[in-house]
């Protein structure tokens, strides 16, 4: 899910004062206008310690003089009406002008804070599901919402998803993570079953890998089965993201390191997904990469950032060498 950021609006409502200075003589030492620099001999508009000819203090939008209260943003001034009409940030859901704290999603939409928890949010892209913004959406049986921007990309065919597994595995080879995906089976399940299977009661969980082997001979597993469980109905790029993460678990499992420190193991899986997503151009993959980067979770988020620092300073080969040999981060990371 996208991290929502509260931001403080920069719009401030200011009161200006009109000083009627008519009739006063400023022959010699008349004050000068902040805007045009010429002396002010009759009427003046004064605000925030500065003084202007009434015709020199003008609205940025309509270019007509301002004589009463006005709005200011980023150094520009506006009639209040012009500001509300043309400049003020408005809620992408209800069109109210946003003041104080508001929410913002990755796609550039801003929302009133009150919609948080009130309007359904797309489980994949983090947009609020609404007719106006996403053309509506669907509620899956397990309670997740998917918007109509993501829905056409959702995949339901296991064979088509297996094609993605092979494609992702090819991408992983390019940075040295060679995954043996023989015998891998894909299962599409709902959120409840995902939580039961994995033992993690987090709504953020999209995939889970179950390893079963009947016996081991000289350290080699026999009759091994890998089951990758994915939430059903996810759009293609989210499947790519999730499959890459799960295949990185498989890679770790194949090297008999399944008791790794959680931040080390999950952080490495997220970093592998980050690298795979980098092979796909476009806004969807950037969205998922950004979500990985901004994840505040101490295991998935911090783990990812620590692995990224390690891999970027010592190289991918070194990261994978540590990962296959050691159950925790090397010293210094
Ligand atoms: Zn002036
Ligand atoms: Zn105006
Ligand atoms: Zn609103
Ligand atoms: Zn969506
Ligand atoms: Zn994981």
What is the tens place of the pLDDT at every residue in 23-47? Answer: 344 445 788 999 999 999 888 999 9
pLDDT digits (tens, 9 = 90+) for 238-290: 999 999 999 999 999 888 656 789 999 999 999 999 999 999 999 999 999 99
| Ligand 3 midpoint to CA 128 (Å) | 11
| Ligand 2 midpoint to CA 31 (Å) | 26
Q: Domain locations in the chain?
A: 8-87, 90-153, 158-325
What pLDDT is recorded for position 17?
A: 37
Ligand index nearest the alpha carbon of residue 130:
4
Ligand index nearest the alpha carbon of residue 34:
1
When pLDDT is cut at 50, 70 and 90, the band that residue 71 belongs to is very high
pLDDT digits (tens, 9 = 90+) for 110-138: 999 999 888 899 999 999 999 989 999 99
What's the CATH architecture for 8-87? Ribbon (2.10)
| Ligand 5 midpoint to CA 81 (Å) | 52
Instruction: Identify residues whose C-beta is under 5 A from ligand 4, the ion.
Output: 122, 124-125, 147, 150
Ligand index nearest the alpha carbon of residue 260:
5
Three-state SS across the chain? CCCCCCEECCCEEECCEEECCCCCCCCCCCCECCCCCCECCCCEEEECCEEECCCCCECCCCCCECCCCEEEECCEEEEHHHHHHHHCCECCCCCCECCCEEEECCCCCEEEHHHCCCCCECCCCCCECCHHHHCCEEECCCCCEEECCCHHHECCCHHHHHHHHHHHHHHHHCCCCCCCCCCEEEEEECHHHHHHHHCCCCCCCCEEEEEECCEEECCEEECCEEEEEEECCCEHHHHHHHHHHHHHHHHHHHCCCCCCCHHHHHHHHHHHHHHHHCCCCCHHHHHHHHHHHHCCCCCHHHHHHHHHHHHHHHCHHHHHHHHHHCCCCCCCC
């Amino acid at each position: 899910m996208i991290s929502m950021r509260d931001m403080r609006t920069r719009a401030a409502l200011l009161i200006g004062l009109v000083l009627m200075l008519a009739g006063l003589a400023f022959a010699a030492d008349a004050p000068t206008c902040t805007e045009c620099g010429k002396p002010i001999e009759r009427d003046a508009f004064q605000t925030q310690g500065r003084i202007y000819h009434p015709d020199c203090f003008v609205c940025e939008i309509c270019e007509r003089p301002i004589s009463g209260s006005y709005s200011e943003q980023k150094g520009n001034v506006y009639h209040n009406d012009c500001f509300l009409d043309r400049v003020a940030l408005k809620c992408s859901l209800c069109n109210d002008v946003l003041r104080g704290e508001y929410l913002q999603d990755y796609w550039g939409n801003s929302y009133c804070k009150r919609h948080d928890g009130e309007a359904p949010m797309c489980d994949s892209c983090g947009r609020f599901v609404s007719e106006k913004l996403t053309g509506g959406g669907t509620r899956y049986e397990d309670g997740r919402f998917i918007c109509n921007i993501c829905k056409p990309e959702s995949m339901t065919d296991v064979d088509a998803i297996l094609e993605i597994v092979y494609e992702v595995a090819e991408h992983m080879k390019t940075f040295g993570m060679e995954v043996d995906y023989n015998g891998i089976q894909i299962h599409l399940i709902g959120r409840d079953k995902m939580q039961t299977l994995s033992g993690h009661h987090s709504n953020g969980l999209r995939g889970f890998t179950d390893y079963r082997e009947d016996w081991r001979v000289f350290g080699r597993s026999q009759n091994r089965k890998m089951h990758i469980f994915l939430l059903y109905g996810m759009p293609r790029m989210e499947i790519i993201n999730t499959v890459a993460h799960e295949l990185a678990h498989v890679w770790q499992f194949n090297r008999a390191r399944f008791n790794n420190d959680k931040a080390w193991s999950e952080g490495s899986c997220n970093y592998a997904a980050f690298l795979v997503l980098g092979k796909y151009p476009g806004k969807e993959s950037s969205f998922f990469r950004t979500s990985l980067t901004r994840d505040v979770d101490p295991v998935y988020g911090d783990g990812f950032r620590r692995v990224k620092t390690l891999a970027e300073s010592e190289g991918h080969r070194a990261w994978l060498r540590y990962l296959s040999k050691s159950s925790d981060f090397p010293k210094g990371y």
